[in-house]
Amino acid sequence: MEDARDMERRQASAPTVRTIAMPADTNPAGDIFGGWLLAQMDLAAGAAAARRARGRCATVAIDAMQFLKPVIVGDEVSLYAEVVSVGRSSMKISVEAWRRSRESEETEQVTRGLFTFVAIDALRKPRPIDG
């Protein structure tokens, strides 16, 4: 569980991706579709992976995923991605998504996940991650 210092640190850092949940992104119950949120998390993880690998990367696994709270139409969704481990050609990326209602400055965590990416070359083959 994240303590108050970790939460403050996360919220003080710049998000990797920030977007607004729109009506077209809803499920039949009117909440934001989990697949949309998963796609946003994959984009954030991919950006972090490409930056660390200095090039193209591919998602090879979603190792863990937790949906903690719903996202509502109009919410601002901020995604924070962090490289947590690096191997020869692969890396693990931790991603958290936080929501902020349009009527408030308070934020709350809505999802968290762990993604595995592999750095790939022009032929889409695994390549070493330098440095």
| Interval 20-65: pLDDT, tens | 999 999 999 999 999 999 999 999 999 999 999 999 999 999 999 9
pLDDT at res. 130: 83
**H-helix or E-strand containing 44?**
helix 34-53
Is pLDDT of 11 > 70? no
Is pLDDT of 91 > 70? yes
For the whole model, what pTM was predicted? 0.88
Half-sphere exposure of 119 (CA within 13 A, CB side): 19
pLDDT at res. 114: 98
CATH of 4-119, one of 1.20.1090.10, 3.10.129.10, 3.30.1490.20, 3.40.50.720: 3.10.129.10
Q: Report the greatest alpha carbon distance in the chain.
A: 48
CA distance 45 to 1: 21
* Nearby residues of 4 by Cβ (< 8 Å), 6 or more positions away: none
Angle among Cα 7, 42, 119 to the nearest 5 degrees reads: 110
